[in-house]
Chain A
Amino acid sequence: QKEVEQNSGPLSVPEGAIASLNCTYSDRGSQSFFWYRQYSGKSPELIMFIYSNGDKEDGRFTAQLNKASQYVSLLIRDSQPSDSATYLCAARSNDYKLSFGAGTTVTVRA
């Protein structure tokens, strides 16, 4: 069974701080990894994807991938109240299917 696990939340950070979200996956055949943001009552919205080991930066977001450790992370720098949401980690296997983690709820305190 392909499992994706995320660090348990909720995660509360002050405005302007860095929020760090972690994710591990069990299927070594997973090729790419995604972070989605889901606001309450809304559908998941893609934030970032990463395929290669190392870091990938997009604005205030940085995704990190370590395939040897089967570990993915997302850093949110200069956190804003609008970043308050549930963040879902997903791993994509060769058959195009996504396996999702349970999600980490982030609250940014003003």
Chain B
Amino acid sequence: SAVISQKPSRDICQRGTSLTIQCQVDSQVTMMFWYRQQPGQSLTLIATANQGSEATYESGFVIDKFPISRPNLTFSTLTVSNMSPEDSSIYLCSVEEVQTQYFGPGTRLLVL
């Protein structure tokens, strides 16, 4: 399976600031996704990152809050904007390979 890396692995941020999370894959993939996992919860899909076009957001998630870029088939970024303590979560990118999704190591975000 593809090797997926994320940066940063963790961060502590002040409310009102923004953080950009990077996801890098070692091979070209068509489908990339961003998930959020709040403390003690399961995974919730934020959006599908589409190469060359705008991301497709799930209900409850908006582009102004979670802008996503996908400049090529191996890289994507998710920005968490104007953060509040409720944004404290693990953010995970995933890629689809052979009809199966594999996850990156995640970014652990704490907003104070």
Contact = CB atoms under 8 A, between A and B. Distances in A.
Interface of A: 32, 34, 36, 42-46, 49, 88, 90, 92, 96-103
Contacts of A103: 42
> What class of interface size applies to chain B in its complex with A?
20 to 34
Nearest to B59: A1
B48 A49 contact: no
A34 B101 contact: yes
B103 A32 contact: no
Interface of B: 1, 31, 33, 41-45, 48, 90, 92, 96, 99-106
29 contacts: A32-B99, A34-B100, A34-B101, A36-B103, A42-B105, A42-B106, A43-B90, A43-B92, A43-B103, A43-B104, A43-B105, A43-B106, A44-B103, A46-B1, A49-B100, A88-B42, A90-B101, A96-B31, A96-B48, A96-B96, A97-B33, A97-B48, A98-B33, A98-B43, A98-B101, A99-B45, A100-B43, A102-B41, A103-B42
Contacts, number: 44
